[in-house]
Structure 1
Amino acid sequence: MPLKSKQPRIAPLEPPFDAGVEDVVRELGPPIGLFRVWARRPALARGVAGWGRYYFSRESALTVRQRELVIDRTTALCGAGYEWGVHIANFAEKAGLDAAQVRSLAGGGPADGCWNAADRAVLAAVDELHATADLADATWAGLVDAAGEDGALDVLLVCGWYHAVSFTVRALRLPFEPGTMGPDSP
């Protein structure tokens, strides 16, 4: 899990923000710590915001549930408790995840009895991508059956993106957002 630190390595910007930073923070979404760190570099933040708008829009080939399975499992596997906590707090209910499924995402696996076949295929792909940076033909076929070819492509990209986000939040030592906890919390 995340290394313990009293202070983040790069402090998130604090309000009041100048007009340019205010606009960037608003583009990113709720003013969580990670977004306020990215806002220190407005061009970077705008690029991230564009990516996020796509994957959190109806344009993505993934359902909300599939997207959250990918994000939650990836961040748990990467030990990125900050990001895992943000997503569980904000999206688990919207994705229809129950308590057993949240526990499984944190420390179980695709074979756990709480998953249907389609969920298992998505989670197996995430686990294999995390372990090998590739997918066996059978894993690919299962993912395409569960999410379609366009959805499979989105799984690859979302999983990769949330590896980058996980690296960022861990290395920055960001403290948990209020009302969130990591996958290893009681």
Structure 2
Amino acid sequence: MPLKSKQPRIMPLEPPFDAEVADALERLGPPIRLFRVWARRPELARGVAEWGRYYFSGRSALTVRQRELVIDRTTALCGADYEWGVHIATFAGQAGLDGAQIRSLAAGGPADACWDATDRAVLTAVDELRATADLSDGTWADLVAAVGEDGALDLLLVCGWYHAISFTVRALRLPLEPGTARPESP
């Protein structure tokens, strides 16, 4: 569902940044719009940065591909074009996603022919969490078989986190970052 307003509700900070904001932005990563909004509250930004460092550090039980499947599918289902665009532009190549898979993440489903059994288990879990806020016993068993119990726990947390991020970027009305695109419609 496209955003009605193109004007951000909270304007991202612009340089020059004071020392506390600059420190928060350095911890978050590239100063994209979302990070510059969070940096309005440096203590919030520092907490987000710590969480993000864990999930993007390789300590997660999910592979880069599995993590990106969760994030990309969640943000697409939530209509969070901003976050979808950032992740596809930044991580789709690292995750080994091809054009058919990117289109499926945006407008297809886990049963699409472009997915293997592991990808399908991850995507089915994300879709079911979005639809029901729970997982059936069968979906849970398939997910654990595909990614292990630690991976299943990480999937739940990443999916929930990116629901929160999706709510944030949509409600803030953040415009796309340069060089990013919206998911393709069916």
Q: In the alignment, residue 62 of structure 1 is paired with which amino acid?
A: L
Report the counterpart of residue 117 of structure 1 in structure 2.
117
SS, match of residue 82 in structure 1: helix
CA distance in 2, matches of 1:8, 1:184: 23
CA distance in 2, matches of 1:14, 1:84: 23
Report the counterpart of residue 129 of structure 2 in structure 1.
129
Report the counterpart of residue 56 of structure 1 in structure 2.
56
Correspondences of 1:13-162 after superposition (within 5 Å): 13-162=13-162
Q: TM-score, normalised by structure 2?
A: 0.98
CA distance in 2, matches of 1:23, 1:87: 23
Q: In the alignment, residue 75 of structure 2 is paired with which amino acid?
A: T
CA distance in 1, matches of 2:185, 2:85: 10
Residue ranges of structure 2 left out of the alignment (5+ in a row): none
Q: TM-score, normalised by structure 1?
A: 0.98
Deviation at 1:181, TM superposition (A): 0.9
Deviation at 1:73, TM superposition (A): 0.1
Q: In the alignment, residue 96 of structure 2 is paired with which amino acid?
A: G
Identity of matched residues, %:
81
Q: In the alignment, residue 16 of structure 1 is paired with which amino acid?
A: P
CA distance in 1, matches of 2:184, 2:166: 15
SS, match of residue 148 in structure 2: helix
CA distance in 2, matches of 1:110, 1:128: 11
Report the counterpart of residue 175 of structure 1 in structure 2.
175
CA distance in 2, matches of 1:5, 1:37: 17
Q: In the alignment, residue 70 of structure 2 is paired with which amino acid?
A: V
Contact 1:2 1:170 in 2 (8 A): no
CA distance in 2, matches of 1:25, 1:183: 27
Q: CA RMSD in A?
A: 1.1
Residues 1:131 and 1:114: Cα distance change in structure 2 (over 3 Å):
same
Deviation at 1:185, TM superposition (A): 6.5
Contact 2:6 2:174 in 1 (8 A): no
CA distance in 1, matches of 2:96, 2:2: 27
